[in-house]
Amino acid sequence: MRWKGGGAVGLALMAGCAPIPLERRVERGPLLRTYTQEVALGERTLAAEVEARWPRLTFRFLAAEVCRTEQHEEFIEHVITEQYDASAAPALSAGAVNTAVGGLLLLARPLFSNAPDRKEIDREGHYGPSARKRATVWGGALVVLGVPSLVTGIVQTLRSGARTETRKGDTVVSLREAPCRVLPANGTVEFAGGVGAPPAPRETADGTLSLTAEEIQGMHFAGVLLDGTPALLSSEAQERVTNFRVCARLLTEPVPAAEWARAGVGPLHALRQQVADCEGIPEAPVADRLRALDEALAAQAHPQEEPGAPRVGSFEEALAAYRPLLHLTPDSAALSRLEEPEALQGQALVLRGVLERYEGQNIAVVQVGPTRVLVFLGENPPWGTGAPRGSRVELVGVVMGRQRLGTLESPLVRAVWMRTAL
């Protein structure tokens, strides 16, 4: 019996040492926290910021390190390890059946007859084995086959299963490189990349360098250096420098009225667009220059008298000569037609309203109900001196379309005759 016990123990050890396939998977659990980690990369940068506020252009120099900012997520993760042998169940079932049948046969041996089987006889004259001997042989064979299979199945089943380990997980969800630990930088500023001789170097104060509109006009440069190190200028900063240089010339020069009078409408419109682009500079004196250009454009585009226009000497003569069919008053239903003055261009009309103000010498703003109308008066109008502000006026005129004057965009009417209304 000892050898049987030893064999069973050895068989169990052998089955226990047999490798079983492993399957491992990781499942993400709940989020614990989100945090940011900044890592210095050991690189340094020098940049220049540009601020435009009339009448100065200010450079601000900043030295910084390059850092990588990482966005992390910390969470719980479960590591699940599964062990399973596909042969464990067949071995266990086959071993259990064979062992059970073999054991029953061995236990039931006394129930079988011990008499030899007289129906069988061999050549030597021996009868066949008895039923008890046959049951013993079959029972022993089945036990010998079933026990190892049963032990193997049990051991493999005990070793099968799943176990879960819980641990913290960490992953980087985003990262970017950006300047960090920014400090003002001082030194000698040099200007490079311009046409001709470079401007003279200048010293910073508290990391800044300020240039006036008069100074920037004569300076031509494409980049700046601080103590010989190029300072990074963004495309927006470069555009701001260029725009300020152009605006410094446009807004500080005296108004060349005679030159504008000789210029055509196209050059004046282009100049007006350049001046309008200067509105992005805080506190820049753009409004007065735009108003002067609008007056010059109105004088260029709409002269006082068109070729072939009848000459009149009174309000009544203007009515008789132009025969206006459109009469606009503050309570007139036809006043809405001024919303599309292009459709009325060239038509004569009578206009009654309140003279709100004068814009220069040749433009008057007349309030007709809720609508403002620009009235071109021309030089030396035949009706004499203008009406005072706030007075009620009536005029005979010709619609010339739409005109922009500063921030005001309204219908434009060329006055043929204007007088104070009763």
pLDDT in tens, 328-371: 999 998 999 998 888 898 899 999 999 999 887 778 999 999 99
Same domain, 338 and 375: yes
Average pLDDT, the chain: 83
Same domain, 319 and 290: no
116: amino acid identity, one letter: P
Same domain, 65 and 187: yes
pLDDT band at 1 (very low <50, low <70, confident <90, very high): very low
Residue 403: CB atoms within 10 Å: 21
Select the more confidently predicted residue: 299 or 138. Answer: 138
Flag whether the pTM goes above 0.75.
no
Work out whether the CA dihedral 127, 131, 132, 135 comes out positive or negative: positive
Model confidence at 19: pLDDT above 70: no
CA angle (119, 121, 127) in 5-degree steps = 80
Same domain, 296 and 358: no
Residue-range definition of the domain harbouring residue 409 = 315-420
pLDDT of residue 263: 67
Q: What is the mean pLDDT of residues 189-203?
A: 85
CA distance 320 to 313: 11
pLDDT of residue 353: 96
Same domain, 279 and 412: no
Same domain, 64 and 189: yes
Where residue 348 sits, what CATH number does that domain have? 2.40.50.200
Same domain, 359 and 400: yes
Same domain, 69 and 212: yes
In a domain, 227, yes or no: yes
Residue 132: CB atoms within 10 Å: 16
Please tell me which of 187-196, 253-262, 409-418 the model is most confident about, judged by mean pLDDT. Answer: 409-418
Q: What is the mean pLDDT of residues 287-314?
A: 74
In a domain, 150, yes or no: no
Report the share of the chain in percent with pLDDT over 90: 35
**Where do runs of H (alpha helix) occur along 181-285?**
213-217, 235-252, 257-262, 265-276
pLDDT of residue 304: 47
Select the more confidently predicted residue: 76 or 307. Answer: 76
Same domain, 261 and 248: no
CA distance 261 to 268: 10
Model confidence at 16: pLDDT above 80: no
CA distance 49 to 238: 10
Give the phi and the psi of residue 131 in degrees, each rounded to 5.
-65, -35
Count how many domains the chain has: 3
In a domain, 155, yes or no: no
Reading the block at residue 409, the tokens are: 């965009």
Give the phi and the psi of residue 163 in degrees, each rounded to 5.
-130, 145
The domain boundary, picked from 269, 301, 333, lies at 301
pLDDT band at 320 (very low <50, low <70, confident <90, very high): very high
Same domain, 261 and 226: no
249: amino acid identity, one letter: R
Same domain, 321 and 411: yes
In a domain, 391, yes or no: yes
Assess whether the previous peptide bond of 129 is cis (omega < 30° from 0): no
Three-state SS for 415?
strand
Same domain, 350 and 222: no
Model confidence at 228: pLDDT above 90: yes
Three-state SS for 221?
coil
pLDDT band at 308 (very low <50, low <70, confident <90, very high): low
Select the more confidently predicted residue: 307 or 124. Answer: 124
pLDDT of residue 146: 77
